[in-house]
Amino acid sequence: MRAVLALVFAAALLASVAVLAQQQPQYGCDSPESKQLDFWVGTWDLSYVGPNGKPVTSRNRITKVLDGCAILEEFEGGAGTKLIGRSYSVYDRASKRWRQTWVDNTASYLDLEGATVDGNMAFVRTVERNGKKSQQRMIWRDVKPDSLTWLWQTSTDGQAWTTQWEIAYTRAK
């Protein structure tokens, strides 16, 4: 009888330990999904056309932080632009989607959700202004080890997209 009680107690203890183990958060991120933006990690020299129509160069530093679970973007506007911005991108395990939050020194706040567009990594959001909905997205394309092209696009129907801003990224030496 004692042996049976001991076995029942041991089984109950193991079951409770298993439940606790399942409830513990999982730290660190090394899944294939969490590495989908690794191409972006590094320090980049950027070139693009500014709002005044003149060429601008800037710098963007991208690092993996929080045990590899988040990607921190630190954008520094170059000469002639005061724009400074930060974003965090994370692969959200619960929704199985990428998410990004951007804030900058113009008090802009953007929340975007990851998507794949024609085989390229992209982030998309829906925005409503003056009662009209439109979509905004950023896409990384032509990704190579030392260069890529970043596009900011808008659409009123989600089908036809207009590029508002194109940035050429070159890995800083």
- The closest alpha carbon to 152, from 65, 73, 49, belongs to 49
Q: How many CB atoms lie within 10 A of CB 37?
A: 21
Whether residue 140 is contained in a domain is answered as yes
Whether residue 10 is contained in a domain is answered as no
Q: Identify the CATH number of the domain in which residue 95 sits.
A: 2.40.128.20
Return all residues near 154 (Cβ < 8 A) that are at least 6 apart.
Answer: 134, 135, 136, 137, 161, 162, 164
Whether residue 158 is contained in a domain is answered as yes
List the alpha helices (DSSP H) in 24-167.
Answer: none
**Model pTM?**
0.82
For CA atoms 120, 95, 89, 130, the dihedral sign is positive
Which domain does 50 fall in, by range? 33-171
Whether residue 5 is contained in a domain is answered as no
Query: Total structural domains in the chain?
Result: 1
Least confident of 7-11, 42-46, 133-137, 141-145: 7-11
pLDDT tens-place string over residues 122-166: 999 999 999 999 999 999 999 999 999 999 999 999 899 999 999
Q: Are strands 162-171 and 147-155 parallel, antiparallel or unpaired?
A: antiparallel
pLDDT tops 90 at residue 22: no
